[in-house]
Amino acid sequence: MKNVGLIGCGNIAETYFRAQDYFNNIKFVACADKFQEVSKKCADQYNIKSLTVDEILKDTNVDVILNLTIPQAHFEISKLALEYGKHVYSEKPMSIKYDEAHELLNLAKEKNLYIGNAPDTFLGGGGQVARKFVDDGDIGKVMTGNFIFAFPGVQEFHPNPESWFQSGGGPVIDMGPYFFTTLVNLLGPVKNVRSRGKKFADQREYLVGPKKGKSFNVDISTSVMLDIEFANEAIIQGFISFDVQNHARNHMELYGTKGSLVVPDPNMFGGPVLLSRELGSEWQEFSVEDKYLGKTNIINHSGRSNEAPKQSNYRGVGLSEMIYSIENNIQHRCNGNLALHVLDIIESTIIASETKKEVSLRSTCDQPKPLLEEQIKLLIKND
């Protein structure tokens, strides 16, 4: 069990507080935010201390800082936490710049501290069952595949959508982490990336909230088409977009020498996984409802084309597994090397679209080890 101090009490904080009920080694003791009234409200709701950012960093009772600030603040907060001798687990991405994330990784190594990062969704039932099919050779050697994340953009439901459309935002930084991490989990590290990005309009309209009807500037590409070559020679095509009203494609498909696999939503933990072993055969559906981290636990339809009405959401398992790893002196799965490599894929995709050239990655990482049911059982709270 480790004492966790949370910085950034926004939308996603609630999901992480829920993790305290699922996993047996996370104990929230304090929270902080740039805005003290936001921190106070959160502290009252969850019966913990509200501190300033400075106070939480200096609090000797806090072992791990959970960084849930916005992507543009991840570097600053994670760096401070490491400098104050705290382990860090951050929401995605590790930073908005590769060089900064590299600095964080070096700092953590130098100080002998753990640095962990979302997404942890690949540890869910869907991600792990898909991984087993790939590892067991059920579809043979994976040669090609594709993925899609496409919806109209957060202005549909968010009153302050600007940061998604400015430098440091955009579809690749926002949603790329889920798809790239899932692919590295299934296929291992990446060699190079090609891509094409497009901004279809210079302005968008606010659709909800007090600014409804007014417009805001769009500074980034809102649709990006890319292809990724992996170290194992597989090539995967991707499409990440804030310009699509609706679609009916699978989130991710992999094509191997012996069959094909439909991988469930990399943004979530559930299934099912679909497998077809040969031409003309029926698709077999594999439910993950019997898995610790696959069972549906949310019933909530957001209206987004890429989210099913029912979901399995166990965000926080990456933090729990990092705490277990600290206590047992082993490498954790959602580690800084993986997060840095994923950020490298993100940044390389953006550079490739701007330069119109193939970009070779600067980094590599180990493919994460599978997370077995008996290992998850050690993290699960029984009461």
Ligand X SMILES: NC(=O)c1ccc[n+]([C@@H]2O[C@H](COP(=O)([O-])OP(=O)(O)OC[C@H]3O[C@@H](n4cnc5c(N)ncnc54)[C@H](O)[C@@H]3O)[C@@H](O)[C@H]2O)c1
CB of 216 to ligand X, least distance (A): 16
Contact window for ligand X (CB under 6 A) among 8-16, 138-146, 279-287, 330-338: 8-16
- With binding defined as CB under 6 A, does residue 200 bind ligand X? no
272 neighbors 264 (Cβ within 8 angstroms): yes
- With binding defined as CB under 6 A, does residue 172 bind ligand X? no
Indicate which single residue of 7, 130, 190, 365 sits in contact with ligand X (rule: CB under 6 A): 7
Distance between start and end Cα atoms, the chain: 16
Indicate which single residue of 35, 99, 355, 378 sits in contact with ligand X (rule: CB under 6 A): 35
**Which of 184, 261, 194, 264 minimizes the C-alpha distance to 230?**
184
Residue 75 or 239: the one with the smaller Cβ distance to ligand X is 75
Chain centre to alpha carbon of residue 38: 24
Contact window for ligand X (CB under 6 A) among 23-31, 32-40, 109-117, 335-343: 32-40
- With binding defined as CB under 6 A, does residue 25 bind ligand X? no
- With binding defined as CB under 6 A, does residue 11 bind ligand X? yes
Residue length of the chain = 383
Indicate which single residue of 5, 8, 125, 266 sits in contact with ligand X (rule: CB under 6 A): 8
- With binding defined as CB under 6 A, does residue 92 bind ligand X? yes
- With binding defined as CB under 6 A, does residue 372 bind ligand X? no
- With binding defined as CB under 6 A, does residue 175 bind ligand X? no
Strands 2-7 and 64-67: parallel
- With binding defined as CB under 6 A, does residue 33 bind ligand X? yes
Residue 92 or 204: the one with the smaller Cβ distance to ligand X is 92
CA distance 227 to 2: 41
Indicate which single residue of 38, 208, 235, 351 sits in contact with ligand X (rule: CB under 6 A): 38
- With binding defined as CB under 6 A, does residue 351 bind ligand X? no
x/- mask, ligand X, residues 46-85, rule CB under 6 A, reads -------x--------------xxxx-x--xx--------
- With binding defined as CB under 6 A, does residue 9 bind ligand X? yes
CA distance 239 to 149: 6
Residue 30 or 359: the one with the smaller Cβ distance to ligand X is 30
CA distance 258 to 277: 6
Number of residue whose CB is nearest ligand X: 10
Tokens 């094909």 found at: 260
CA distance 26 to 39: 19
Backbone torsion region of residue 188, taken as left when φ is above 0, otherwise alpha when ψ lies between -120 and 50, otherwise beta: left
Residue 168 or 256: the one with the smaller Cβ distance to ligand X is 168
217 CB contacts (<8 Å, ≥6 apart)? 162, 165, 166, 202, 203
CA angle 173, 245, 240 (to 5 degrees): 25
Residue 232 or 296: the one with the smaller Cβ distance to ligand X is 296
Query: For helices 171-187 and 336-355, what crossing angle results, to 10°?
Result: 120
270 neighbors 312 (Cβ within 8 angstroms): yes
Write out the two tokens for 27: 């104990």
- Contact footprint for ligand X (CB under 6 A): 7-12, 33-35, 38, 53, 68-71, 73, 76-77, 91-92
